[in-house]
Amino acid sequence: MDSLYFGPYRLEVASRSLYRGEEFIPLTPKVAETLFLLLEEAGRVVTKEQMLERVWPGVVVEEGGIANNISTLRKILNGEFGEEGAIATIPRRGYRFTAEVTTGQPSTPASTRAHPAAGERNTILVADIENKTGDPLFDGTIRQALALHLAQSPELEIMSDRKVHSVLAMMHKPGVPVLGEVALEICQRTGTRAAVTGSIFALGDEYVIGLYAIRADTGDTLVSEQARARGKGGVLQALDQAALNLRSKLGESIASVQKYAAQFDEVATSSLEALKAYATGRDIWLSHSENAAIPHMQRAIELDEHFVSAHSALAVMLNNMGQTARGAEHIQRAFDLRNRATERERLRIEAMYYDVMTGDLHRSLDAYRSALRAYPRDANMANNTANLYIILGQYEKALRDIKTALTYEHSSVVYGNYTQACLGLGLVEEAHEMIEQAFARGYDAFYHHADAYLDAFLRNDPAEQRRHLDAVAGREGEEDYMIALEASTEGYFGRFARARELSRRAVESALRSTSLEMAAIWRAESALRDLEAGYPELARKQAEEALGISRTRNLDGLAGMVLARTGDIDRAERLGADMEKAAPQATHVQRHWLPCIRGCVAMARGDWKAAVDALEPALPIEMGIPQPFISPGLYPPYLRAKAYAMGKQWSDALREYEKITSRPHLIRNQYQLPLSWLGASTALAALGRKDEAAAARARFDTIFQGADRSPRDWT
C-alpha cells in the first residue's frame, strides 16, 4: 500500500505526504498521522483513546490537541466533500472518516492522460541518461546538460535536482540511478506526467544520443529524438539540437522554442570536463553538504572560467556557509556573465546580486517576485524570497512563500527556512516538527543540527543539545558554527569564561578550514559578549584581533559597536563611515549596523537622546535575523533600552526590554535575554512596580544561578 486515494487527494503512506492532484499540501507530522489513522479506519469510529495512543504515544496530551488536528484537516478537506465534510464527529466516542478511500490509483479519462501542451506547465522529470560509452566523463554529464537546456523554457516545468534527491531519500534509495522503474516511481510519487531519459553510446568515432519521453502512468514512450556527434567535441552541440526538437514534440509553442533556443556553449560551457565537475558538485551538494561540494565547483570554474552556472552555484554554497566575502566574488562574476545564462538563471543571478553585492534587500525582493511571476513554480526563488523576509523580520510573508516552495520541493534549505519562519512567529511546536521532518528525510546539513540544537535549548534538553554538537564535531568548515552556538549558550547562563574558551576553539576551527571571515566573526562575537560581562579591555583587544583577521560588513558592524562602547569612538566612527561609503544601498548597513554603531557612539558620549534618534532607522527590520547563527538578534531594541535607561526614561526602557523578554523564540540562547530581565527589573523598580520587579529579577537570578559571578553582583 504505497498511497491512499480519496476524492481528489492522495496520501503517500511512507512519507505521510498529502497531495491534491499535483499540488503538495503541507501537514505537520501529528496532523498527517491523524489523517493516516482516519484513512486506515475509514467508515469505522476512531476513538480519542486510539488517537492519543497512535499520534502521541507515551505523551500526556490534552484533548484539545486532537480537536486542533481535526479542525486543521477539516479546513483542508471539507471544501471537496459537501456540507457534511469527510470527517464526522461521533459524540462521546470519537471521529469517523466518511469518504471513500481506495488503495489503487483512480482511473483517469484518456483525454487527461495524453501528454499535455507545454502551456499547461506540467512538470517533467529529467531522469538519468544511461552512459553506454564506457567513458566515465559522460556519467551524469549529459543529464545535467539536458536539464540546463530544458530549464530555458518558460512553458516546461523541470523537476528540480533538489526535489529528485528528496524523493529518492524518501524512497530509501539515495544515490540510485534515476532510470526505468525508479524514474517512474518518482513521477508517480510527485504527480509528474512524464520523464525524459535516454542514452549515449559510441559507434566508431561517432557518439549517438537517444532521448525519449515516457508516460509516468504506463511507461509508454510519448516522443523520442536522436542525434549524432562526430567526436566528443560535438556532443553538446548535438544534444542542443536534439533537446530543441524534443521540446517541440512535447508541445512547447514554436515561438517559445525559437525565443529560448540559446546554444549550450553560450549559456553554460563547451567543456565536457567542466560540466562533469559541475554535475558532480551539484550531486554532492544536494546529497551531502555545501562544504564537500565546493572543490568540485571550483574545479569546474578552473576548467572554464566563463561557466556562469558554476559561479552562481559556488556563490550560493559559500554564502550558505557564511563566507560572504568569497561568495561575493563569484556573485559578481556570475552577474558580469549573466547574459550567458538562461533567462531563468539570469533573473536569479540579478536578484542574488542585489542581495549580496549591493545589499539592497528590497530591490532583491522585487527581482525575485518578478522572476516568480515568470516562473511561478520555481521553488528555489520562492525559498530565497522567504529567506529575505526572514532577514527583514516579516515572518508571515516568509511562511507564505516557504509554503509555496515546499509545495514544489522538499529540499534541505526549504526545511531550514521553514523552521526559521516558524520560530519567528513563535510556532515552536511546528518548527520542531519541521526539524524532525528534515532529519527523517536524511538531511544532515550543519544548519539542521544548529536548528535542532536551538530547538533543544528552548525545550531545556541539554542531552539533545549535546547530541547535535557531537553530530557535527570534526566536520571541517561546519563545526565552528556549532562550537560558537555552544559559546552563546554559556554566555546566556553567565558562564563567560567558558564562553570565551569555546569562542577561541570556534576561531581555531574556522582558521583550520581557511574560513577567515567566520574566524573573525566568532572573535568579534566573543568581544561583544565580554563587553556585556564587564571586561571592556578584553573586549576591545578581541575586536582589534577580529579586524586583523578579515573585513566584512557584519564584522565591521560588530567591531564598531565594541570599539564605540570601549572608548575608541574615532575608530568606530571611521568604520561606520567606511561602511556607508562602500555600501550606500545595503539595507542592513543603513538600518542595522550604522544605527547600532551610532547609537553606541552617542551613549559613549553620554547623549541618550541622540542614541535613541540614531537607532530609529532600525525599527522597520529590528525583529529580523540579520544573519542566522552570526549576528546578535534584537540588538537595536537592546541598545535602545540601555539608552532610555541612561536617561531614566523607565517606561520607554521597559517597553524595549519587553520586546526581548517576550520573544524567547527569537532571542534563543543569546545573553541579551537574561540581561533584559535584569534591565526590566531595574525599570519596574524605578516605576514603583515592586512585585513585577522582583519577578523579573527572579527570572534573571534563575538563569544566572551557575554564572561566573553571583547573580547578586549584577545590578
The yes/no answer on whether domain 114-267 falls in CATH 3.40.50.10610 is yes
**CB-based contact 475:497 (threshold 8 Å):** no
Q: What is the pLDDT of residue 389?
A: 96
Neighbours of 226 (CB within 10 A): 13
Q: What is the pLDDT of residue 119?
A: 34
In this model, does residue 120 exceed pLDDT 60?
no
- Report helix angle 594-604 to 553-565, nearest 10: 10
| pTM of the predicted protein model | 0.75
Name the average pLDDT for the chain.
88
In this model, does residue 60 exceed pLDDT 70?
no
d(C-alpha 50, C-alpha 129), whole Å: 48
Neighbours of 473 (CB within 10 A): 12
**pLDDT interval class at 417 (50, 70, 90):** very high
- Summarize pLDDT for 65-77 with one digit per residue, the tens: 788 888 888 888 8
Q: What is the pLDDT of residue 390?
A: 95
Beta 3-6 vs 94-97: how paired, if at all?
Answer: unpaired
d(C-alpha 387, C-alpha 370), whole Å: 16
Q: Cell digits for 216?
A: 509516468
One fold for both 284-456 and 457-713? yes
Indicate the CATH number of 284-456 among 1.25.40.10, 3.40.50.1970, 3.40.50.10190, 3.20.20.70.
Answer: 1.25.40.10
DSSP state of 355: I
Q: Where do the domains of the chain lie?
A: 3-97, 114-267, 284-456, 457-713
Q: What is the pLDDT of residue 375?
A: 83
Q: Where are the beta strands (DSSP E) in 445-506?
A: none
Q: What is the pLDDT of residue 122?
A: 61
Average pLDDT over residues 172-188: 86
* Span 3-97 CATH architecture: Orthogonal Bundle (1.10)
Q: Which fold does the domain 457-713 belong to in CATH?
A: 1.25.40
Strand order in the sheet with 221-230: 157-158, 123-131, 194-203, 206-215, 221-230
Average pLDDT over residues 618-629: 81
SS3 at position 87: strand
Residue 173: burial class (beta carbons within 10 Å; 0-12, 13-18, 19+): middle
Average pLDDT over residues 497-513: 96
d(C-alpha 267, C-alpha 338), whole Å: 9
Q: Which residues contact 101 (CB under 8 A, 6 or more apart)?
A: 4, 5, 6, 39, 42
**CB-based contact 342:152 (threshold 8 Å):** yes
- Summarize pLDDT for 16-45 with one digit per residue, the tens: 788 887 677 877 778 888 999 999 888 888
- Summarize pLDDT for 251-301 with one digit per residue, the tens: 788 888 778 777 777 767 888 899 889 988 988 887 777 888 999 999 999
In this model, does residue 204 exceed pLDDT 70?
yes
